[in-house]
Amino acid sequence: SDYVVSSYTPTLGVLISAREAAMPKKQEMRALVAAVPRSDASQCKDLLSTRDEVSYIRDALPKESLIPLLPEDDALVGDGGGMSAKGLLDKLPKATILHLACHGQQNSDDPLKSGFVMRDEMLTIERLVPEPLPNAFLGFLSACETAKGDEEQPDQTIHLAATLLFAGFKSVIATLWSMEDIDGPQIAKSVYRDIFSGDSEYIDPDDIAYALDGAVQELREIHPDPSRWAPYIHLGI
């Protein structure tokens, strides 16, 4: 990581398809920024830092780009439970950017049952795959195990990040293993700051991988243990 900025792809077909797509203008982007600080569907611990993460991102993005959420799906409103599965599926087709901060779980026995822990239930890969996503560009999965593979089947790529790419996203930020809740806001704030800086009308896809690398290097300075900074990877263009 001191010499190169790495980016990955689950298949060459996904990469070719992504590179053939038109790049959206910054002013035309629509961002679905959602979090699940606590869930009734899982025994997982609360993710209190996801509220800070959502707040930082909404401040960094143009107000007109944010897709409004129902009060019950907004982590910053009311009791702060966060996004429901139906709420995410309803809003997702409109999104150019999806930022999701929650628990992610990889099911090694049945990869299609892997998913995101929403406020009310698990949103699995098999429910996400059929969704048409005509506007999708950037997916930021601030959750655990969203790009975790299977050492028993290394030639099979069925994880949450790959699902977003197969569904139409061109660029995805994900994690290889568990991430620390308190690191999410720092990584996200740094990435969006770098992506949306400058006067260019478009986002250069290369900027996303470089922005993540910069954010990881900052985290690495604070927490040298690779378990903290190494899980974050970029996939796609």
The pLDDT-based confidence of 155 (bands split at 50, 70, 90) is: low
Mean pLDDT of the chain: 89
Q: Are the C-beta atoms of 101 and 34 separated by less than 8 Å?
A: yes
What is the H or E stretch that residue 227 is in? helix 226-229
Strand partners, 235: 8, 172
Query: For residue 108, what pLDDT is reported?
Result: 77
Can you tell me the distance from the alpha carbon of 39 to that of 83, in angstroms, rounded to the nearest whole number?
9
Q: Are the C-beta atoms of 112 and 124 separated by less than 8 Å?
A: yes
Query: For residue 185, what pLDDT is reported?
Result: 95
Cα separation values, 45 from 6, 148, 181, Å: 31, 20, 10
pTM value? Answer: 0.92
Query: For residue 139, what pLDDT is reported?
Result: 95
DSSP 24-50: PBGGG--EEEEE-SS-SS--PPP-THH
Looking at the domain assignment, is residue 103 inside a domain? yes
What CATH number is attached to the domain comprising 185?
3.40.50.1460
pLDDT tens digit sequence for 32-57: 999 999 887 667 889 999 999 999 99
Query: For residue 128, what pLDDT is reported?
Result: 86
Domain total in the chain: 1
Looking at the domain assignment, is residue 3 inside a domain? no
Q: Which domain holds residue 199?
A: 12-145+155-236
State the Rg of the chain over Cα.
Answer: 16
Can you tell me the distance from the alpha carbon of 118 to that of 41, in angstroms, rounded to the nearest whole number?
7
pLDDT tens digit sequence for 1-44: 788 999 998 888 888 888 887 788 888 899 999 999 988 766 78
The pLDDT-based confidence of 153 (bands split at 50, 70, 90) is: low
E strands, 81-212, where?
97-101, 103-105, 115-117, 122-124, 138-142, 171-175
Looking at the domain assignment, is residue 80 inside a domain? yes
pLDDT tens digit sequence for 77-133: 977 789 999 999 999 999 999 999 999 988 878 878 889 999 999 999 888 888 778
